């Protein structure tokens, strides 16, 4: 009987994989035939058309200055941080959190390869943040494989320090998503234009997904369950995707998801545990008009807990941020004609357990930054925050930050 169960499991799993490949092949074939984009438009980035994701992997300054088959660029980030918690100085230090290198190569008319290598904390950690091969068939249907920036919310796709108006990343993008989320995978992406002034973009991938690190500590922490790049811990793909709608210029609304099994349930063909899933849903919004910008993001995570963990670890978490910024003093004479100053206010909130009153973070950030050119920024931030433990005991937090970031 045990042999029959294993045989049926293997047969069903093989059929599922075959159906996935048949479906993918059908989509590629139909999309190739029905949608339209000539080969010439795939050779180089079209700088007259809106980028697929503004600030994403194909919207970098060095790409639009492309001069040969391969181009190299990157960005550097420098911080000074003075932080106090409950009236006690926790940190006063200089940091070089990251020095990132981009590469972009045109392999053929329809194939291009891009990557980002992140060097963190002065060289203590070096990793490939993304490295993808794209096969461009039509604007509405393209194929991607490699280490993918998971489209779970927009911030994970546009997290570069020189782009963002504040020094620290939003709490929801580090605690719930968590940014930067890179996963090996394969999938499709593209864009449609329902009307002359509107656009719909999508990305959907099969990826390795998260691991049991989500629940291996005394608390449920999604960021601790990020998978390794070398292998899938349970041999069961997860799925991630995002659809964004831009009904008019300057406005974009996006919805995203990440769903998959995080634990190991089968070992050497035998079932050793029930399957347990992590599901994350996200929403993001952005509106820009002239000097004003308003953006934010929300994420909700649901963890399917094993027997014995229910009531002990959190099953549901969520968080959001909302930010408004206004740029003024555009152009400072002939010396700095492209300069500008931006005032920013952002509110962050994360709840690590929706079933209890505490276990949460709140933060308001006031920022002022100066851009001598669009690709470089000097930032001054002041954070007013508060953390609450599981019993809702609150601890005030304050921080002053100065940072410099620039593309090259």
Please give the pLDDT value at position 11: 44
What is the mean predicted confidence (pLDDT) over 171-197? 96
What percentage of the chain has pLDDT greater than the value 90? 74
Does 152 score more than 80 pLDDT?
yes
Between these two residues, 157 and 25, which has the higher pLDDT value? Answer: 157
Please give the pLDDT value at position 68: 62
Closest CA to 393 of 85, 27, 52, 124: 85
What is the mean predicted confidence (pLDDT) over 321-325? 98
Please give the pLDDT value at position 74: 96
Could you give the CA distance from residue 357 to residue 378 in angstroms, rounded to a whole number? 38
Please give the pLDDT value at position 44: 44
Tell how far CA 98 is from the center of its chain: 16
What is the mean predicted confidence (pLDDT) over 176-192? 96
What is the mean predicted confidence (pLDDT) over 209-229? 92
Among 109-113, 119-123, 214-218, 293-297, where is mean pLDDT lowest? 119-123
* CB proximity list for 106: less than 8 A, separation 6 or greater: 43, 44, 69, 70, 112
Please give the pLDDT value at position 289: 95
Q: How many CB atoms lie within 10 A of CB 153?
A: 28
What is the mean predicted confidence (pLDDT) over 168-189? 96
pLDDT digits over 240-280, tens only? Answer: 999 999 999 999 999 999 999 999 999 988 999 999 999 99
Q: Where are the domains of the chain?
A: 1-34, 39-74+95-321
**Count of H-run helices and E-run strands, the chain:** 3, 18
HSE (CB half, 13 Å, CA atoms) of 31?
20
pLDDT tier for residue 214 given thresholds of 50, 70 and 90: very high
Could you give the CA distance from residue 218 to residue 209 in angstroms, rounded to a whole number? 21
pLDDT digits over 47-71, tens only? Answer: 456 788 888 877 876 665 555 678 8
Tell how far CA 111 is from the center of its chain: 24
Assessment of whether the complete model's pTM goes beyond 0.75: yes
pLDDT digits over 344-397, tens only? Answer: 999 999 999 999 999 999 999 999 999 999 999 999 999 999 999 999 999 999
- H-helix or E-strand spanning residue 387: strand 376-388
Angle (CA) 148-169-180 rounded to 5° is 15
Please give the pLDDT value at position 174: 96
Please give the pLDDT value at position 207: 98
Closest CA to 282 of 240, 224, 315: 240
Among 118-122, 149-153, 253-257, where is mean pLDDT lowest? 118-122
Using the structure block, give the residue that is written with the tokens 């709840």. Answer: 351
Residue 281, judged by CB atoms within 10 A of its CB (0-12, 13-18, 19+), counts as middle
Structure token digits, residue 362: 């709140």
């Amino acid at each position: 009987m045990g042999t029959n169960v294993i045989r049926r499991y293997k047969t069903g799993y093989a059929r599922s994989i075959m159906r996935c490949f048949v479906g993918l092949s059908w989509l590629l074939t139909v999309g190739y035939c029905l949608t339209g984009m000539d080969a010439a438009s795939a050779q180089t980035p079209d700088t007259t058309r809106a980028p697929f994701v503004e600030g994403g992997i194909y919207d970098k300054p060095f790409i639009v200055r492309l001069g040969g088959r391969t181009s190299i660029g990157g960005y550097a980030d420098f911080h000074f941080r003075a932080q106090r918690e409950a009236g006690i100085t926790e940190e006063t230090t200089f940091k070089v959190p990251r020095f990132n290198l981009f590469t972009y190569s045109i392999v053929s008319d329809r194939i291009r390869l891009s990557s980002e290598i992140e060097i963190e904390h002065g060289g203590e950690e070096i990793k490939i943040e993304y490295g993808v091969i794209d096969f461009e068939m039509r604007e509405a249907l393209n194929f991607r494989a490699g280490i993918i920036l998971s489209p779970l919310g927009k911030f994970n796709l546009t997290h570069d320090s020189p782009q963002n108006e504040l020094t620290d990343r939003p709490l929801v993008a580090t605690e719930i998503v968590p940014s930067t989320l890179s996963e090996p995978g394969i999938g499709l992406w593209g864009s449609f234009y329902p009307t002359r002034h509107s656009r719909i973009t999508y990305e959907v991938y099969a990826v390795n997904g998260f691991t049991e690190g989500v629940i291996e500590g005394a608390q449920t922490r999604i960021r601790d369950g990020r998978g390794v790049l070398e292998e899938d811990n349970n041999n069961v793909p997860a799925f991630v995707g995002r659809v964004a709608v831009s009904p008019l210029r300057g406005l974009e609304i996006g919805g995203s998801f990440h769903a998959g099994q995080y634990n190991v349930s089968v070992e050497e063909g035998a079932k050793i545990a029930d399957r347990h899933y992590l599901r994350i849903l996200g929403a993001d919004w952005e509106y820009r008009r002239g000097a004003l910008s308003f953006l934010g993001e929300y994420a909700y995570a649901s963890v399917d807990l094993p027997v014995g963990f229910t009531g002990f670890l959190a099953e549901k978490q969520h968080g959001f941020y909302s930010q408004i910024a206004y740029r003024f003093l555009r152009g400072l004479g002939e010396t700095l004609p492209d300069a500008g100053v931006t005032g920013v206010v952002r509110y962050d909130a994360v709840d690590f357990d929706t079933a209890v009153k505490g276990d949460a973070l709140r933060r308001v950030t006031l920022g002022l930054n100066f851009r001598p050119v669009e690709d470089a920024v000097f930032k001054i931030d002041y954070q007013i925050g508060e953390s609450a433990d599981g019993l809702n005991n609150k601890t005030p937090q304050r921080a002053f930050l100065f940072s410099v970031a620039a593309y090259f």
